[in-house]
Structures are given as structure tokens and as C-alpha cells.
Amino acid sequence: MTRRTTAFAAILFLCGFVLTLVAQSVYPTGTTIYDPTRAWNGFTVLSPLNTQAAIVIDMNGNVVKQWEGYVNSAGGPARIFPNGVVMGANGTNAPRQESLELVQRDFEGKVLWRFDHNEQIQSRGGGTVWSARQHHDWQREDFPAGYYSPGVRPGIDASNTLILTHVNHSRPNVASAELEDDRLIEVSPKGDIIWEWIASDHIDEFGFSAAARNAIKAAPGVNAARGSFDWLHINSATYVGPNHWFDEGDRRFAPNNVIISSRQASFLAIVARDGKIVWRLGPDFSESRELLAIRQIIGQHHAHIIPKGLPGAGNVMVFDNGGASGYGFANPTATNGANSFARATSRILEINPVTLQLVWSYAAPKFYGSNISGAQRLPNGDTLVTEGPSGRLFEVTKESQIVWEYIYPQFSGAQSSNSVYRSYRLPYDWIPQIERPKERAVVPPAPGSFRVP
């Protein structure tokens, strides 16, 4: 799947993982734009899909470190901690979109911590195995939003871990089919589950209209291979983290509350520790002048609160993918009231969560990541964007100028892809084992001037 396209999406499947494009055959890879004087320089960790590794590149696109043993077919971020420690998901529970375990390793690859004791599942070869049933996201409590912010230096083994998981059960008040429900669990450093939250217990708090409830009840889009209905498809779950709203007395934003994103239902929400929904954005963006100014969010990913110490701290940032999502707004192309909204463009949104003011946004022609993807606020005020399906990463200024761009190369194999689930920028000194690289500017050719010899 390439970055440059001559047509937008032709087919979008409900799960959001299949995209058909009409595309060119030759395209550049590696770093294609780089202004060292304007970018926030550091290492970038990549979480490619369908590979066996977590990968670190320098600003010029050179692979400087690779840890084997991270099978990311289920989707999810790899994160780097100080002193070159890495953590990510491993193993596949097919046909479900899940990983078997979370594994933390040191720079040399030695396992420091792992978790898989959530649920016993049927193995491919018969019998049972333990599985974390992790999908899409996980988060350390001492690492707000999972990316670098000044003054925050997470430990290696001194924090609880939030894991987004699945649970299968029947809930007749929600849908007519078995649910593949979303379940949050918090795990202690010893591997004990010390807190849990199940989405279907709170369906009355998600702001669904009667039409939306009826559409969900009919269970459109049951996955035949899984035999279940992934009704919300929550794709991010992140601790709110320390923030000025809480410091000023707004308890909705308690640091250990959790902000979630439902891709299929087009809403963001904050889950309090007692399980209640205390803040919500969507699913209907026509309910107020502020929401109309934001416009409908569709198929979004990576909703989080920008951490303290960064420009925009306390605001919500989300990758508004587009594609198709939403329940209850039946129309000629969504007669059953599912996937009612559709848009073949993406946006990055920064929103004040109290006033609902749209503080900043980024959009551009042909900017479109139909699934996966994410955005990170950098200390200089720029934003690192992962346009996931095409493997395109770029750093964009507040004025929407791109100062760094990288295209992850497509690899060969049975599942050839260059998709990157998410990426993060981190300071050079967080991986002291690697010598700081020499940075070289990359100036692309003028549009229309590039020719293959």
C-alpha cells in the first residue's frame, strides 16, 4: 500500500483493516523531507503491522535498533522506556484480533516482565493456553499518553499496566448476537488483575439514540470467523495523566481515569475508577454549536490527553481517520443504521475538553489513513503523525508545514505490507547504547521535476 494514490478508498470493510486503492507502482521510501533546524530531533520507534519486530530509526531513516519477537498482527504500540527498554505485544490469537502476551525486554533482548494470565483460550493445536487477549492498546500508569514529555521519566518495573482486552459473552439487552466486548483491566507489576471495566455494562451512558440502540440490537457486521459482534471496536485506552483541569478541581480528569475511543460508534469517553462515564465527545456531533464546529468524528484512533510539559497540555488529541462508522443515522448508503458516516479524508484534532473549542487541526489533500494511525505532540509544538495504512510518518508544524517525512518500506512475504500501527519520537538519551547519529538535511525535488532515469 503506497502513500501516493490516484484514487481514494474503493472498499472499506467494517473492521477497518482492508483498504483497496488504485496506486502507482514506484514511490520513494525512507526519509523524504527533513529540516534538522526545525524538526524535534530524536529516535523514532515504529510498530509495523505483520512483522516480528519493534524498530527504531534515526531522523535520516536508518534502522538503528530492532528487537525481534514482537508479532504485531493484532495491532498495538511498542514503546521505549529510558535506558533502551522496550515493551510491546507478542503472539497472535487467530482469527481474533488479539495478542497472547505483553513483553518487556532490555536493550539486549532479555525479558524483564511479561503478562499473559488473563484468560485461557483454545490453542490452534488443541488444548488451552493462557492469553492476555490484548488488542489495540496498553498503557503504563507512570507514562502519561505513552510518549515523551519533559519532566516525566517512567520507571522500568514500578507501575501498574492498563490493558485493552476482549471478553466474549451474551448481553441480550445490547445485541442479538454474542458480543466481542471491550474490557479494560489494570495489572499490577506482579501480574495480578486489580481493576476491570466492561463496556456493555455502560451502554446507557454512551449517548446512543433510540435509533442507534436499535441498530446495535440487530448486530450488523457479525464476524463469521470469530462468531461474535465487535460492537464498539474500542481502539485506544489511555490514562488521563496529570493535568491542569484536575489541579483546578475538575475531578472528571483525575489522572488515573481512562480515556477511550470507540471507532465503530464514533465517540470518545472518560471512564472513572468507579466505572461511570464522566466525560464524552460524540457520537452525535450536531448537538451543539461547539460540536458542529468540530464536525463529525469518524473511525477515530489514538485519543489521549496531551501530557503536562508539552504545548497544548490538557487538550484532547485524536486522529480522526474518516472511513465509515457510526450507528443510528440511517441513509440510502447505510439502510440498517450502521456505518452511517463516511469520509475519505483524515484530520488531526486538538480539542479543549472543557469548552469543546477546536484549538488546532491538520488536514491536507490526499491525507487519509482509513485505520490504525496516531499523533504525538512534540516539545517544540510540532505534531508527529502516523498515517498508518500507507506507512507514512511526518512531523508537521502548527502552521501545517511538514519538516520531516518518512515512508516505511514495503517488505515481501505472504502478508506484504508497509503499514505502521503507530510511531513515537523520543530523546536520543533514552537509548544511551546507541551513539547519537549525524543529522543530514533531506530536500525533496520540486513537484513535477522528479524522473526515474
pLDDT in the model for residue 453: 85
Q: Which CATH architecture has domain 31-430?
A: 6 Propeller (2.120)
Cβ neighbours for 335, distance < 8 A, ≥ 6 positions apart: none
Residue 361 is inside which H or E element, if any? strand 358-362
Q: pLDDT, tens digit, for every residue of 419-443? A: 999 999 999 999 999 999 999 999 9
Number of helices followed by number of strands (H, E) in the chain: 3, 29
pLDDT in the model for residue 414: 45
Label residue 5 by pLDDT band (50, 70, 90): very low
pLDDT in the model for residue 412: 52
Label residue 360 by pLDDT band (50, 70, 90): very high
Q: pLDDT, tens digit, for every residue of 72-117? A: 777 789 999 999 999 999 998 888 999 999 999 999 999 999 999 9
CA separation for the pair 404, 31 (Å, rounded): 7
Q: Which of these ranges, 26-35, 204-213, 241-250, has the smallest mean pLDDT? A: 26-35
Label residue 411 by pLDDT band (50, 70, 90): low
pLDDT in the model for residue 9: 36
Q: pLDDT, tens digit, for every residue of 297-312? A: 999 999 999 999 999 9
DSSP bridge pairs for 270:
259, 279
pLDDT in the model for residue 51: 79
Whether the Cβ atoms of residue 231 and residue 216 lie closer than 8 Å to each other:
yes
Over residues 7-35, the mean pLDDT reads 60
Over residues 322-331, the mean pLDDT reads 96
pTM reported for the whole predicted model = 0.93
CA separation for the pair 139, 317 (Å, rounded): 16
Q: pLDDT, tens digit, for every residue of 207-228? A: 999 999 999 999 999 999 999 9
Question: CA neighbours within 13 Å on the CB side: how many for 212?
Answer: 22
Is the pLDDT confidence value at 368 over 80?
yes
DSSP state of 107: T
Q: pLDDT, tens digit, for every residue of 150-165? A: 999 999 877 999 999 9
**Domain spans in the chain, listed from the N-terminal domain onward:** 31-430
Label residue 15 by pLDDT band (50, 70, 90): very low
